[in-house]
A and B are shown apart, each in its own frame.
Chain A
Amino acid sequence: MIVKIIAIAMAGAILNVIVRQHKSEFSFAVAIATGIVIFSLIKDDVLSVISLTKDYIESLGLETKYIATLFKIIAVAYLTQYGASICEDVGEKSIAMKVELAGRLTIIIMTAPIIFAVINLIMGILP
């Protein structure tokens, strides 16, 4: 599976070099298409990892609410990195920085309830 992904990535990169030379408008399209194809390959593995972790956490009897937020944060991080790297490919560093800032902010907003829960827990323990 990994060999297939590497082969596709190299094919996309080589095609990107050719396309960028003649007509630079299509270089971002080839990059995005390669990203989409590679993600569609690893989709099943991601699903199995998620269900694996969720079942394990449930078997431990812990609360799964925070684990769901954790997966959401992973998704936001992945999407932000995806968008930022596409912007950087095209050469728009400033837009990439803005996308990353927005991604960090959403993650902070998502983690707020967890941080408050942890702090409340600690305050409860302290005498």
Chain B
Amino acid sequence: MGSGVDLIFKIAAIGIITALLHIILKNSQREELALMTSIAGVVVVVFMLMYEISTLFDTIKSLFGL
């Protein structure tokens, strides 16, 4: 999806936002919600990465004729 450099910044932004959300929710005594948001953030990032990794492996396969 995010071709080029903005992929890195997108993932870092999601990480920082999840961290912020985690801290805010923890202070407002909602531990379980904080945990949920953290897990949701990780899942979103992993799905984004999965798409990029599959394109990477396809290009390598087509490039080197694997």
Binding site for B on A (CB under 8 A): 8, 11-12, 15-16, 18-19, 22-23, 25-26, 29-30, 32-37, 39-40, 43, 46-47, 50, 68, 71-72, 74-76, 78-79
Contact = CB atoms under 8 A, between A and B. Distances in A.
Interface of B: 3-5, 7-9, 11-12, 14-16, 18-19, 22, 38, 41-42, 45-46, 49, 52-53, 55-57, 59-61, 63-66
Chain A binding surface SS class:
helix
Chain B binding surface SS class:
helix
A33 B56 contact: no
Given A11-B5, A32-B49, A75 B66 contact: yes
A15 B10 CA distance: 11
B15 to A, nearest CB: 3
